[in-house]
Amino acid sequence: MGSRTLRAVVALAGATALTVALGACGGDDDGGGSGGGKTLNVLIGANTQYPQEQQDWQKSVSDKFKAQTGADVKWETFASANDELTKIQTSVVSGTGPDVYAIGTTLTPTAYSTRAFVTLGDEEWQKLGGKDKFVPSSLGISGPDAENQIGVPWVGRPFVMVYNTEMLKAAGIAKPATTWDELTQHAKQLTKGDQYGLAVAYKDNFDPWKFIWGMSVQAGNPIVDGKTARIADPAVSKAYQTYFGWLTKDKVVDPAAVGWTNSQAVAAFAKGKTGYFALTSALAAKSLDAGAVKGKWAFTLLPTVPPGATTRPANGVEAASILSGDNLLVADYSKNQDLAFQFVKLITDQEAQLDIYAKLGQLPANAAAAQTLLSDPRLGPVVEAQKKSVATPFTGAWADIQLALTNAVVQSIPDLSSGSISDAQIDSRLAAAQKTAQSSLDRAK
């Protein structure tokens, strides 16, 4: 085992919550450059909301890349953060796998810790059209600093709420909620008969921890403080109590939400019987316009004042969203790096960025493409959320921490299904999550 692989294995040892698949992924090529007869392997997240549209987009990109380079594209997908990290682990250990990875921004620090991806210098950025091609804020989690970046911004997904304008008006609510307590109060006003105040995707693979992180940092607790985990903290406990309480105590969420993914929650809101959907992005617009809420919905910022407060404390952060989206990484082991950078350039150019927005609702990271969308008034809150997005901590331990926050929800699903969960149960799960997070931080470089 080479020194690079050994370092990568050590760096990934913190992901102890995962089951590591040891079979190799991809790796069909044996030469660099471009030309016919070669295949570029690309790993990308599965779009469960628009699966057919994603397949159509993939075919379109493959056809353009084939015409441009003569090479084929072989796509591989992942469906969860757990799966995403396992794919990285497997490929790093084996030294083979995808040439290009499209991974979530929050997993970029863990990928960086493996030292298995190309560091982007002036030469690499020029191949892509220059660093100024991208929205400046989208570079905020490409690496630990400007000189050590591995992630090329691809698409942005700042999170917002969506609300039913007619339902709020009928309930006498003049404007959408700006604090979490106000959101809970609005949801109570909106819940009656066959209506619910709030749609929440409790069983989604990606959603739950984002609520907890947002509420916590708004309260002044960053979850990670240097090399110290702060999950066993009153602010985090309050966040979980609020999040679970919408279902168990406040009764403002459809009980079926215990089993909902994000796409199912979108579908439920689109039926026109729910006041707010609390965590979504521009991706939802297509589904909403196809539902009963067409012409009756609007985006708004997520609350930025923590639960139990009417104003944000002095040490609280105005985090409207995590810095969310996908980065493109080129594998250091790839024998097709020239092809890989041609591919990355293709899908980050203005035309391709506008195309993926039109087909899948993914916000462009390309600055010129993003500028053209400012004329859409519905996107105003989304653009504002992008500006007020805050990056999660850049540490190789973050993957474990994110999964620990998620697992606290997964472990609570049976309790939520039964209709109640105690503060003691929550705190017990947070103590376990704290132990996992601190152990990972202790091992992280």
Say what the pLDDT of residue 65 is: 98
Distance (Å, rounded) from C-alpha 368 to C-alpha 377?
18
Distance (Å, rounded) from C-alpha 164 to C-alpha 269?
8
pLDDT (tens digit per residue) in 72-97 = 999 999 988 888 889 998 998 899 99
Domain encompassing residue 195: 160-319+411-443
Query: How many domains does the structure of the chain reveal?
Result: 2
> In a 3-state reduction of DSSP, which class is residue 153?
strand
- Give domain status of residue 238, yes or no: yes
Range of weakest confidence among 26-30, 143-147, 225-229: 26-30
Asked if 244 and 346 sit in the same domain, the reply is no
Distance (Å, rounded) from C-alpha 382 to C-alpha 299?
7
Asked if 372 and 333 sit in the same domain, the reply is yes
Asked if 65 and 207 sit in the same domain, the reply is no
| pTM metric for this prediction | 0.82
- Residue 34 clears pLDDT 90, i.e. is over it: no
Q: How far is CA 53 from the centre of its chain?
A: 19
Asked if 286 and 379 sit in the same domain, the reply is no
Asked if 12 and 152 sit in the same domain, the reply is yes
Asked if 87 and 55 sit in the same domain, the reply is yes
- Give domain status of residue 218, yes or no: yes
DSSP letter for each residue of 84-139: HHHHHHHHHHHT-S-SEEEEEGGGHHHHHHTT-B----HHHHHHHT-GGGB-GGGG
- Give domain status of residue 406, yes or no: no
- Give domain status of residue 400, yes or no: no
> In a 3-state reduction of DSSP, which class is residue 265?
helix
Compute the average pLDDT of residues 13-28. Answer: 36
Asked if 36 and 146 sit in the same domain, the reply is yes
Other C-beta atoms lying within 10 Å of the C-beta of residue 322? 23
